[in-house]
Amino acid sequence: MSELRESGLIRLVPHLGRRGAWFLPPWAVLCGAVASPPFHLSPGDAARLAMTILLVEGGWGTLWSALGATDWITPLQRWRTWTGHHPTPLLPYTRAGSPAERIASWLSRFRSWWEEAFLPSAGRALGAALAGLLVSLLVAFTLGPEIFLLTLGVLALMELALLSRRGRMPPSSGWDSVVRVGGAWLAGHLAFGPLSLPSVALAGAFSLAIAGAKGGRSHARSMWIGGQFLAALLLVSLHRPLAASFLVLLLTPQWLLLAHPVPPNPARRYALLWLATAMLLTAWAM
C-alpha cells in the first residue's frame, strides 16, 4: 500500500516485482508494434504508440498495481462478523422489525464497516483501481475495437488472478508477466495491424521468459532461457535462421549472468537488458 499512498491515482507503474524490470511493459508495446508490418516511424504512428503505452501503463498498470498492492480479503472477511453501526435516520413511521427498519439497520452496519474497516485499508487502492479501469476503457475505445476487446480480455485475466489468489496479492510471476508483458506485446501489435499467430506465440514465449525474471525459485533461470529458446524455435519455423542464430547467441551472456539463481543477484538487471535486446531482435525479424 505504500506506493499507493505516496503517489497519485494514475501513474506509470514500475511493477513486475523488480525495479530493474520497470521498462519491460512499454518495451513490450514497442516490440509488438515493430512485429506488426504496418508500423512505420511516422508522427502518426508515434502518437498511436504513445497512446498504447498510456493504455498499458496508465490504465492496465495502475489497475494491476492497485490489485497487487492490496489485501482485499481481510476487510471483506471482517464484514461477516462486523457488529458496529453508524447512526442512520429512519424513515417516518418506520415500525420495529419492518423491512424498512431492517434495511436501515443493514445500511447503518455497512456504513460503519465501510468507514472503519474498508476505507482505511483498501480505500486508496479502490480509487486507483477505478481510475485505472476508467483510463483503460477510454483509451482502448479511442484506439479501436480490437484494442478494446483485448482490454476486456486483460481485465478478465486480472479478475482470474485475483480469484486464484483468493483476494490475497501480490500475484504470481506468471500472471504478472502475461498481463504486463504478453498483453502489452499484443496491444502494440494490434494498435497497428491485425494479430498473427506467430506474434501471439512470441508474446507467450517472452511472457514465460519474463516470468523467470522475478527469480527466487530454482526453475526461474530455466523459464527465462526456455522462453527465449522457444522464440528461437519459432523463428526457425518461420524460415528466419539468421535471426534465430543471433537470438541463441544472446542467450549466452544471460545464462552466465544468471549463474547465481538465488536473489539478490545484481547481475540480473544486466541480463534484463540482453532479454530486452532479444525481444526487439525477434520482433524486427518478423
Q: DSSP secondary structure string, 13-65?
A: ---TTSGGGTTHHHHHHHHHHHTSTT--SSHHHHHHHHHHHIIIIIIIIHHHH
Measured CA to CA in angstroms, residue 279 lies from 43, 184, 255, 284 at distances of 24, 13, 16, 9
Exposed / middle / buried, residue 215 (Cβ in 10 Å: 0-12, 13-18, 19+): buried
Nearest to 146 by CA among 52, 63, 53, 40: 52
Tell me the per-residue pLDDT of 86-132, one tens digit each, with 9 for 90 and over: 676 655 656 666 676 677 777 878 888 878 888 887 788 888 889 99
- Cα(254)–Cα(152) distance, rounded to whole angstroms? 35
Q: Is 70 exceeded by the pLDDT of residue 234?
A: yes
Q: Helix, strand, or coil here: 166?
A: coil
Q: Please, which residues have CB within 8 angstroms of residue 263's CB and are 6 or more apart in sequence?
A: 215, 216
Share in percent of the chain as helix, strand, coil (round to 5): 70, 0, 30
Task: Work out the pLDDT band at 215, boundaries 50, 70, 90.
Answer: low
Average pLDDT score over residue span 13-23: 57
Tell me the per-residue pLDDT of 237-282, one tens digit each, with 9 for 90 and over: 999 999 999 998 988 888 887 776 555 556 677 788 888 999 999 9
Taking only Cα atoms into account, the Rg of the chain, rounded to an integer number of angstroms, comes to 23
Task: Work out the pLDDT band at 31, boundaries 50, 70, 90.
Answer: very high
**Considering the entire predicted model, what is its pTM?**
0.81
Tell me the per-residue pLDDT of 124-182, one tens digit each, with 9 for 90 and over: 888 888 999 999 999 999 999 999 999 999 999 888 887 776 655 566 667 888 888 99
Q: What pLDDT, on the 0 to 100 scale, is given for residue 111? A: 81
Three-state helix/strand/coil letters over 230-242: HHHHHHHHCCCHH
Average pLDDT score over residue span 203-223: 77
Q: Which grid cell sits at 193?
A: 495491424
Q: What pLDDT, on the 0 to 100 scale, is given for residue 102? A: 72
Q: Which residue bears the cell 494514475?
A: 10
Task: Work out the pLDDT band at 6, boundaries 50, 70, 90.
Answer: very low
